[in-house]
Amino acid sequence: MHRLLDVGLEQLTVSVYRMGEVAEKAIDVSITRFMDGKDATAAVRELSDVLAAMTVEVENKAFELIAKYQPVASDLRIINSYMKIAYDFERYGRYAWDISFTHKKLAGLDKCAVNSDLMQKLAETVCEMVSKSVRALKQNDGEMAKSLGEVEKKADELYFAYLEQLSETKVQNKCVMCNLLVSRFLERIADHTTYVGESIVYISTGEKISLR
């Protein structure tokens, strides 16, 4: 016999899964258009706003479940983790918006990243991490979630190597400023994927770990 709490948890799960899909789309659109030198501000802003609204919905639903049904420890673990994951997905959307906005305002939509293999690799790595974090959540796969820690180290290495490359650039222009900020936003997205991974591991095993 299903508890009323179980019905609520299923609804909460669906909402968080949907957030993951929207967040992944926001990152993909933002990074792809940045690399192509195209404007994504309107599309990414809309997705970012959707994620912000969905975060509020998840939080409200979580508090409702706690207030109505007094969940036991295992249920609270899931509810608390979903709230954290919702916040991280919202940050995906916010950083996606930051990338698009910075590109448009600073670089005038120039194809600033096309001449840098390091930026290309960093962008690809971050997209891979975002996709993996969403898949791990849907599959409740703690081992996949743990693997985000190793990929995050790769992202950090690419980020610092790219900073070094930028520091050696003799001509300082808007593209350099744009790429500096975008690389930082990408690095922060990578960090948040590990936070999502930590929450997934906690849901699936009850183990609290750090992936950074």
Calculate the alpha carbon distances from 30 to 42, 57, 67 in Å: 10, 24, 38
Global model pTM greater than 0.85: yes
DSSP category for residue 114: T
Average pLDDT over residues 22-40: 95
Where residue 14 sits, what CATH number does that domain have? 1.20.58.220
Q: Structural domain tally of the chain? A: 1
Q: What is the pLDDT of residues 113-148, one digit of tens each?
A: 777 899 999 999 999 999 999 999 999 999 999 999
- Would 159 be classed as within a structural domain? yes
Q: Which domain holds residue 174?
A: 4-205
- Would 211 be classed as within a structural domain? no
**Residue 12 pLDDT:** 97
If pLDDT is split at 50, 70 and 90, which confidence band does 171 have? low
**Residue 3 pLDDT:** 81
CA torsion sign for 140, 144, 150, 151 is negative
- Would 31 be classed as within a structural domain? yes
d(CA 17, CA 88): 13
- Would 212 be classed as within a structural domain? no
- Would 210 be classed as within a structural domain? no
Q: Categorise residue 174: left if φ over 0, alpha if ψ from -120 to 50, beta otherwise.
A: alpha
Q: State yes or no: pLDDT of 74 exceeds 80.
A: yes
Helix (H, G, I), strand (E, B) or coil at 1: coil
